């Protein structure tokens, strides 16, 4: 099996989520979502910690249009396809899917996670997905933020003269 075919087996289209989910009955699925535009040590640490909360980790990735709406016209730096390939290459990641909306609500309804995790820059009650997760009985975990590690900081450093 080639490297890319292994990665492709981790990338699940939005339309395939329910079918894949049925294969995972009884598993404790951890779900998280984000742009993951320029992967950095903060992301990798967070994803590894999230994976430890269950049997497998499923990531929802904002589409390019969604990232532009959330972060501005200059983003994303990397295409959605590239971001999903990089995430799929991480050993902590089991599945990656993209969503076009600004929030992962529709994806969450399909994945039906046992645990939803977010980084420490979020608060449980202010998550757009809070109500649906509460109704599902999902555990919501806010994991520690890795200080000084962010895509915004990387982009600022790249723009500043050395």
Burial annotation 58-79 (CB, 10 A radius, 16+ → b, else e): bbbbbbbebbeeebeeebbbbe
* Cross-strand pairs, 140: 116
Domain ranges of the chain: 3-159
Tell me the per-residue pLDDT of 80-96, one tens digit each, with 9 for 90 and over. Answer: 999 999 999 999 999 99
Q: What is the CA radius of gyration of the chain?
A: 15
Beta strands 139-143 and 115-119 are parallel
Tell me the per-residue pLDDT of 92-142, one tens digit each, with 9 for 90 and over. Answer: 999 999 999 999 999 999 999 999 999 888 889 899 999 999 999 999 999
Report, at the CATH architecture level, how domain 3-159 is classified: 3-Layer(aba) Sandwich (3.40)
Overall pTM surpassing 0.85 (yes/no): yes
Cα 120 to Cα 46, 53, 91, 124, 156: the distances in Å are 9, 15, 22, 10, 21
Task: Count the helix, strand and coil residues of the chain and give each as a percent rounded to the nearest 5.
Answer: 45, 20, 40
């Amino acid at each position: 099996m080639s490297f890319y075919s292994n990665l492709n087996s981790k990338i699940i289209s939005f339309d395939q989520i329910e079918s894949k989910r049925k294969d995972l009955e009884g598993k404790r699925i951890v779900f998280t979502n984000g742009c993951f535009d320029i992967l950095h040590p903060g992301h990798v640490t967070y994803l590894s910690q999230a994976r430890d909360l269950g049997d497998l980790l499923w990531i929802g990735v904002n589409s390019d249009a969604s990232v532009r709406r959330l972060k501005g016209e200059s983003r994303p730096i990397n295409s959605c396809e590239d971001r999903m390939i990089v995430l799929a290459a991480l050993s902590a990641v089991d599945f990656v899917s993209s969503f076009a909306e600004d929030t992962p609500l529709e994806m969450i309804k399909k994945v039906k996670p046992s645990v939803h995790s977010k980084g420490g820059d979020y608060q449980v009650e202010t998550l757009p997905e809070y109500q649906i997760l509460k109704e599902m009985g999902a555990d919501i975990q806010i994991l520690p933020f890795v200080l000084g590690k962010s895509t915004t900081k990387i982009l600022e450093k790249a723009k500043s003269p050395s």
